Chain A
Amino acid sequence: MQFALLIYESPEAFATRKSDGTDPYTSAWRAYHKALVESGVFVAGDPLEVPETGTTIRIRERQRGVQDGPYADTKEQLGGFTILELPSLDAALEWAARCPAASLGAVEVRALAPDIKRRII
């Protein structure tokens, strides 16, 4: 089964992106990524640019709405995602707990939905 870890990060966590990469948070991410890959569970994943760079589009009654910034205006923001191949949700939750963002922001675990995908492609 594949699971997505949706990484929600705090402003402090986003701020570490400006550091030289030796800060504890970035180092913890480097270690976490290595553990994911070497344990053979990593499928894909990427960080996203900071939320302020997002642009959100809505079309209502043929009117285009364009908003600067992310979809939702919350303190913690989506900062990236990771897709893992794991036998169960329990295993996915364990990996989520190890994620550096879990102790500074939040990590949401969702199973991918291959059935829905098959209806589409």
Chain B
Amino acid sequence: MNESVLEKTQRTIERVARESYGRLVAYLSVHTHDLASAEDALSEALLAALAHWPREGVPQNPEAWLMTTARRSLIDVIRHNRVVLASEPTLMLLQKDSTEVLMATEFPDERLKLLFVCAHPAIDLAMHTPLMLQTVLGIDAVRIAAAFLVSPKTMGQRLVRAKTKIRQGGIHFEVPQDRDLPQRLDAVIEAIYAAFGIAWDDMAGADQRGRNLAEEAIWLARVLLQLLPNQAEVQGLLALMLYCEARRPARRDARGRYVPLSEQDPKQWLSPLIEEAEGHLAEAFKLGRIGRFQLEAAIQSVHAERARTGRTEWEAVTRFYEQLLRISPTLGTRTGYAVAAAETKGPKAGLELLDNIDVEAVSSYQPYWAVRAHLLQKLGKSAEASDAYDRAIGLAEDPAVKEFLLQKRG
């Protein structure tokens, strides 16, 4: 066999797997509620593709081929495990239309149900994002574990436990009814944003893993938006992530040193991403239901404006933070508000806002200490500033951030 054919086929399989993974897992598990078996069946199908496609050529509809193969293998898995889980009706259901499916080129997209299952209130909050990354995107437990700073074995066990709960705990594969939708959707959005947040923090310049996880989160948000096009917060989420992602190239200088937002060169920002973000944010506002992610995106849009105007409209940032504080008074929001207030009313006003935050709550919240140190330094309180810098440096994980703060501390 010609090697380049093999490589080309492998690339095709990778692409199809990436694009179709979630659709296939969702479709294969929607009746059985058995994610683990669906994933196993799909892996089998991907292996089969690797064996057959280079010889027989890539089928005209690769996704349908994978689905048919995975489905056969799922029936085998279910037969094999029937003592544990076989519900005869499910088996019948799977077999009943397997001939139709062989011919079918299209099948329903059940990913929305899968996203809601992953972020179900009965599932441990900390597992929402890992479950999504695994079942919708097919990311393996080892990579998820590294992103979440958990041992691979532990992450594997937690994923298995969560899937068992989904299978046995009566968690329905369904899109929530209208009255539950906003709250349930929040959980899905939060889980996607958590993946992005990890990628954002975990940016040791050269680390590819960080960047890829950000891309995966954006991909998930795009899927969600495609499935729920009229949800303002989904538009807001995608806008927020795109604004941030646009700044990625500017966050390090040529020597890999950390560059804070205020010192970034807007020419290095990726303008197509900013334009796309503006589009989504405008769509979101048209829907007339303001929410946390739209406000966070709006704050980033003000920062993005600097590329055009050369200055940051801090009054606007402050106003958006004031709105955000009313609906989502998190530590991040309160710290960000203090930064904005310091810019508009002076460092003393910013520091007062920080003083109002309970010290216990921020004992390991790095941004608080970095902002505090910066404001104390501006006020000429160098001993206190130096202490706060130490806390910020000690809590930082990224060596580039540590180095930046060490230099500022002096």
Chain A residues at the B interface, C-beta cutoff of 8 Å: 24, 27-28, 30-36, 38-40, 89-90, 93-94, 97-98, 100, 102-103
Contact = CB atoms under 8 A, between A and B. Distances in A.
Given A28-B402, A28-B406, A30-B390, A90 B149 contact: yes
Nearest to A93: B149
Which DSSP category, helix, strand, loop or mixed, fits chain B's interface? helix
Task: Report, nearest first, the 7 A-B pairs whose CB atoms are least far apart.
Answer: A35-B394, A31-B393, A31-B390, A31-B394, A32-B394, A103-B399, A34-B390
A28 B363 contact: no
Contacts of B204: 103
Given A40-B363, A97-B149, A35 B391 contact: yes
Contacts of B395: 35, 98
Given A28-B406, A31-B389, A34-B391, A39 B363 contact: yes
Given A24-B402, A40-B363, A94 B391 contact: no
A40 B391 CA distance: 12
B150 interface: yes
B149 A98 contact: no
Given A28-B406, A97-B397, A103-B399, A38 B391 contact: yes
B81 interface: no
Contacts of A97: 149, 397
Interface residues of B, number: 21
Interface of B: 149-151, 154, 204, 363-364, 387, 389-397, 399, 402-403, 406
B218 to A, nearest CB: 24
A120 B61 CA distance: 66
A100 B402 contact: yes
Nearest to A27: B406
Contacts of B397: 97-98, 102
A102 B202 CA distance: 14
Contacts of B394: 28, 31-36, 98
Given A31-B391, A34-B391, A39 B364 contact: yes
